[in-house]
Structure formats: C-alpha cells, structure tokens
Amino acid sequence: MVAIAASALSVAALVFIVFCIIKFLMAVKDYSRTCYLIRQFPHEPSHPIWGHLFDHPGPNEKGLQYQREMTAKYPRVGSMWHNIGVHAEKDEYFEVFSVISKFTLDVILKCAFSYDTDCQKVGNQNPYVQAVYALSEMAVQRYFQPWFHSDWLYFLTPMGRKFRENCRVVHNVANDVISKRKITLANTPVRKQEVKKNCLDFLDILLTARDENGEGLTFDEIRAEVDTFLFEGHDTTASAISWAMYSLAQHADIQATCQEEIDELFKGRETDDFLWEDLSHLPYLSMCIKEALRLHSPVPSIQRELTQDTDIDGYIAPKGAIVNIVIYNIHHNPTVWQDSLEFRPERFTEENIKSRNPYAFIPFSAGPRNCIGQNFAMDEIKLVLAKTLHRFTLVADPDHKVEKS
C-alpha cells in the first residue's frame, strides 16, 4: 500500500515537473508574454477615452490626442530636495540614485493626485512607498523567471502573495485619495474650477474628463490611470537624472559650461528662484540631458504590436506580431553616432539634429504612441539639474566603479 502511494506520488511529481518544463518552454518561445507581464502592473482596462498608456490599442487616436491635451495642463514642479546639501557639507561621496528616486516619487505622487508622502524625509518608512518600490522590483524579478509567467503558479508563491498584498496597499491609498477628491470637487463651485483649470493636477483632470457623450471615467479606471502614470514615470526619470549627473561629474569642463550658462541666467537677479520660462533659456544644459539620455537610455527597449503585415529589411513580420525596438542599440548605432560610447553634447546642436533621421534618437519612443509624459519628464530633469548645478559641483567617486545592471 505504501509502495503504491509512493509510486502515485512519484508519477504526480513527474507530471508536474513535465508540465512546468512545457510552460517554461512556451514562455520562452512566446515573446508576447512581455506585453502580458506589463499588464500585470496595476493598470486600467482598455477604455475609449484612455486605454492603457503602456499597452495602447491601435485605433484609439482620439483617446491619445485627449491624453496629450490633458498632459499639457499638468502643474509643474518647483520644489527641491535638501538631502544633497547634507552630504555636500560633510564633503563626502554618496550614492545619488536613492536620493533622486525618492525625489521623483515625491514629484509624481504630488502631481498625479496631490498625495504628500514626503518620501525624502520618511524614506521607506511609509507603507505606500514600500509597496511602490516592492512592486517595481518584483515585476522585474518575475520578468526574468519565465516559470512565474503563469498566474496560478506565481500567486501560489510567497513572492506572488506579496505582490498582491502590495497591490492592495497601493490601491487602498488611491481609493482614499480619489474618494476625498471627488467630495472636494463636488463641493467646489464650477466657476472656481474654471478659473483654476490650468492649475489642475492629474487626478482633477481625470475626475473632470468627459468624452463626446458626456461620459466620465469609472472609479477603477481613474485609479488605474494614476497607477500607470506613477509606475512608468518615477523610476525612469530618476535613472535619467542620475546618469546625467554622473556624466557631468565625469566631464568637469562640460559641467563648468553648464554652470556658466545657469549663472548667466541669474545675473542681476535678487533671488535664485527659477522661473518656468528660464527652462527654455538653457540650451547647452538641454543638449547635455539629451546626450545623457542617448548614452544611458532609461528605457532600453519597447514593444509594439503590428497592425498589419510589415516588411522589415526584407523579412515579412505578420500582423499581430510583437516587435521589440531596442532603443539602446539605436542610440549606439555606429553609422549614426560616431564614437557612440563617448559623452558629446554637441551632437544635439540644431545643425546636427537636422542632419539626422528623426528616429535616430527616441528616448521617449516616437510617433503617435510616444510617452505622454515626455515634456513633464524633460522639464523635471532640467529643473533638477539646473538647481543642483547652480548650488553644487558634481564629482564622481574615483574609488567606485559604476556598472549598469
């Protein structure tokens, strides 16, 4: 009897192992799983106004245009963190990404739905902040472990259960904030809303958005849009700022030129407060930012689903296929970028830009489905670098070798 039970158990174990191997091979073979995993982040279902900002369906051109119009109304961020000053006073080296990442999370939370976490002071003590960072890390871990691409298997694991717990934390906070804001907007006279229409944050815009039939977004759709903007915005921006700082720290002469440009902007002023129009008067800094985005692409690749059979260099890619666009390779193409591993801001003079194919530089993707937060991100990066370089000089730690993960 014991032998029979043991034999049955062995057969069951063998069947399970074979099943897992088959699932693994299918996951490796089926590249469309990439898009599937992207949809595992807290996000919205397809919607006639919005859709999903990362995995957007093709025919929804009106929705895309509406998103861009509302994105243009975002309030811009003028706050700045003081953590760098603490390290500067001690004349010590420190790892900049953790500081910048908390700052960008503060920024996007404040702009997305006026949620004050004060990440830079409380750090990871805030449960919401803990959940955001945990979800980002677990999503990457799951991506590189194909055997966890199956939902039923993944959510049986400790990591899968933790993923769900963190999703609940993020959603509960969003639910609370959205509910309170809906009450506030309901009690605000329409006239005041119209006067302040250019000062609405992302959540206000979502709550007041209406399609041509006068229909607004549902509660779940609003929450998901905010989550999408958060998860796809803060970490990439932090990476861009950090690599730009590192590049400038590695090239003291280029950094000095940026500082001269910034100092010239403040000549004759009584305060060192930045005005938003100042950002358009920093052309050399803008060139440095673009070169940093080229050299260290925050988003190294993107995926697109073909809406028709497409000839790609003699190969016919069928409709429905998922095409991987490797931005990092595009930005290091030796036929376009001479000495592509070198940091040369002059690549982005107006003359040089005009001489290149516009698709040679696509840090925010390109075309009708490019990043809707592009202007927001560029302004944020420029403001952070301008304020930092106006107060500090960046120096790379000679004893620390920076490696890309």
Tell the residue number behind the tokens 């070169």, with chain if given: 291
Q: φ, ψ for residue 44 (rounded to 5)?
A: -95, 155
d(C-alpha 141, C-alpha 20), whole Å: 18
Supply 297's token pair. Answer: 């692409």
Whose structure tokens read 């995926």?
Answer: 303
Contacts of 335 (CB under 8 A, 6+ apart): none
Query: 3-state SS of 106-172?
Result: HHHHHHHHCCCCCHHHHHHHCHHHHHHHHHHHHHHHHHCCHHHCCHHHHCCCHHHHHHHHHHHHHHH
258 known member of a binding site? no
- Matching residue, tokens 């091979």: 25
HSE-up (13 A, CA, CB side) for residue 242: 22
- The DSSP secondary structure of 219-251, one letter per residue, reads HHHHHHHHHHHHHTTHHHHHHHHHHHHHHHHH-
User: Residue 93 carries which DSSP code?
Assistant: -
Q: Which residues on neighbouring strands pair with residue 301, listed in sequence order? A: 326
Instruction: Kindly give the interhelix angle for 252-265 and 283-295, rounded to the nearest 10 degrees.
Output: 140
Torsion of CA 119, 43, 68, 324, to 10 degrees: 100
320: left (phi over 0), alpha (psi -120 to 50) or beta: left
Looking at residue 293, its amino acid is L
Q: Torsion angle, CA of 381/233/92/244, rounded to 10 degrees? A: -40
Q: Which residue has the tokens 């420190």?
A: 94
Residue ranges at the known binding site: 371
Q: Which residues are annotated as a binding site for heme?
A: 371
